[in-house]
Amino acid sequence: MRIAMVGAGYVGLVSGACFAEFGVDVCILDTDATKIEALRAGRIPIYEPGLDALVQENARDGRLRFTTDLAEAVEGADAVFLAVGTPSRRGDGHADLSFVFAAAEQVARAARGPLVLVTKSTVPVGTGRRVQEIVRAARPDLSIEVASNPEFLREGSAIGDFMRPDRVVIGTMEGEGGERAMTVLRRLYRPLNLIEVPILATRIETAELIKYAANAFLATKITFINEIADLCERVGADVHDVARGMGLDGRIGRKFLHAGPGFGGSCFPKDTLALARTAQDAGAPVRLVETTIAVNEARKASMAERVIAACGGSVAGKTIAVLGLTFKPETDDMRDAASLVVVPRLAEAGAQIRAFDPAGMGHAKPMLPGSVQYATSALDAATGADALVLLTEWNEFRALSPQRLRQAMRGHVLLDLRNVYDPEAMRAAGFHYASIGRP
């Protein structure tokens, strides 16, 4: 089988490389010629464990190609996937669909035969039908069937998530055309039958909503445990044990109950907002999700206040080491990271920030205040600092020696906003240690 992937961003690259690994002939298209040149030379523009090897091997074996030429990409394709961006539209929080619509129309114009046009990008309910109208208007002569196949890839473990997913969701239109689209997509995912991955076949609207509902639920689950963590602090309970006690109930589940500084990333903030807007417009507001958004925003800001309080009420003139800037470990992605709220607030309050992140500093620099200093290691960041704040739980931070950290620092305040360290060990090393929701 042959497919084209429109958009060499995070989703397009990972999905394209993984389909190639399944044995599909994949052509990835992007309008950015520099990016395509780099990919042809085997250079991967994003940080994702295992992706470079996967791309290089499949490109070498001829199953994975890169181009800026739409006609070349679409030629002979059984399916064309749209993996272009759907950023939050400035002002109203709706997803901006202009890239999706433009790409759909261009694909339709370039098509030489029937094909299935699949939206991989996260798009609000109803987008599939609008895309179908655009495509019909552009090419009334061709049967181009629109389907929805949302991705559930987590940054940092995207390849595993694609190769061993909990489920695959495929939404199609009713009628014969929809059935044809379903057949093509089922064939593409056939290798997953071997490991008995459930394939969920739904109406296109349902598939579109599953993605938003799943992300909003996970975001709400995180926000729930974050608020319980705050309560734990007031009443002397331990959120780690509360989460474990809750999570062992199979109806709740243990995952996504780690309290922290608030969720960030490329999906949760944008998707919760878009779902809330769609629901308002549809006259069925999702108030729980609206609250999740508001609580999470406030939480990030409150983290800076925590640091200030732990430093005795003022950080003016103090040096604060910040470990971890990305929204989570194993990525260089800074989108909606807690650091983007916490670091500027601390800098405004007069602190000198010394930051270190294993992968995110390049992206962080233009997004953070110019006064921030960037260290070469965690220990280098801690050297001479009055306080240390752990914002992202990179594995290498777990392995730091408390004694060496303490010796390097001038002060002894340690705020562990990811509950990575053992409170006893940190106190024994002489730290004034505080974490989230633990006594």
Q: Which is nearer to ligand UDX, 111 or 275 (CB)?
A: 275
Q: Does 256 bind ligand UDX (CB under 6 A)?
A: yes
Total chain residues near ligand UDX (CB under 6 A): 20
Q: Three-class SS of residue 387?
A: strand
Question: What's the sign of the alpha-carbon dihedral 13, 14, 15, 18?
Answer: positive
Question: Binding segment for ligand UDX among 230-238, 262-270, 361-369, 380-388 (CB under 6 A)?
Answer: 262-270
Is the dihedral angle over the CA atoms 16, 21, 24, 27 positive or is it negative?
Answer: positive
Distances in Å between the Cα of 320 and the Cα atoms of 91, 247, 347 are 34, 35, 9
Please identify which residue in 151, 208, 386, 416 interacts with ligand UDX, judged by CB under 6 A: 151
327 touches ligand UDX (CB under 6 A)? yes
Which strands sit side by side in the sheet containing 432-434, from one edge to the other? 373-374, 352-356, 319-323, 387-390, 413-416, 432-434
Q: Which helix (H) or strand (E) holds 306?
A: helix 287-310
Asked if residue 10 binds ligand UDX (CB under 6 A), the reply is: no
- CB-wise, 224 or 431, nearer to ligand UDX? 224
Region of 32-40, 66-74, 132-140, 257-265 interacting with ligand UDX (CB under 6 A): 257-265
The minimum distance between CB 128 and ligand UDX, in angstroms, equals: 18
**Considering the rule CB under 6 A, would residue 222 count as an interface residue with ligand UDX?**
yes
**Alpha-carbon distances of 138 from 66, 132, 198, rounded to whole Å:** 26, 10, 35
Of 81 and 152, CB closest to ligand UDX: 152
Is 390 a binder of ligand UDX (CB under 6 A)? no
- The whole-angstrom separation of Cα 304 and Cα 370 is 18
What is the rounded CA–CA span in Å between residue 198 and residue 200?
A: 6
The nearer residue to ligand UDX, 228 or 349, going by C-beta atoms, is 228
Query: Interface with ligand UDX includes 374 (CB under 6 A)?
Result: no
Q: Is 332 in the site for ligand UDX (CB under 6 A)?
A: no
Q: Is 270 annotated as ligand-binding?
A: yes
Other beta carbons within 10 angstroms of residue 80's beta carbon come to 26
Nearer to ligand UDX, 78 or 208 (CB): 208
What tokens does 160 get?
């595993």
Residues 274 and 211: beta-carbon distance below 8 Å:
no
DSSP class of residue 196? T
Q: Does 328 bind ligand UDX (CB under 6 A)?
A: yes
- Interface pick for ligand UDX out of 47, 66, 268, 433 (rule CB under 6 A): 268
DSSP labels, 333-363: --TT-THHHHHHHHHHTTPEEEEE-TTTHHH
Determine contact, residues 143/113, Cβ cutoff 8 Å: no
- DSSP per-residue letters across 250-269: TTT-STT----S---SSSHH
Q: Is 155 annotated as a binding residue?
A: yes
- Residues 202 to 221 in contact with ligand UDX, rule: CB under 6 A: 215, 218
Nearer Cβ to ligand UDX (31/88): 88
AA identity, residue 47:
Y
Active site residue 232: no
Contacts to ligand UDX from residues 158-177, by CB under 6 A = none
Q: Is 224 in the site for ligand UDX (CB under 6 A)?
A: no
The correct pick among 263, 356, 394, 397 for binding ligand UDX (CB under 6 A) is 263
Among 89, 154, 190, 365, binds ligand UDX (CB under 6 A): 154
Residue 154 annotated in ligand binding: yes
Q: Which residue's CB is nearer to ligand UDX, number 155 or number 332?
A: 155
Binding site for ligand UDX (CB under 6 A): 151-155, 215, 218, 222, 256-258, 260, 263-268, 327-328
Q: Residue positions in the annotated binding site for NAD(+)? A: 30, 35, 86, 122, 155, 270, 335
Catalytic residues: 267
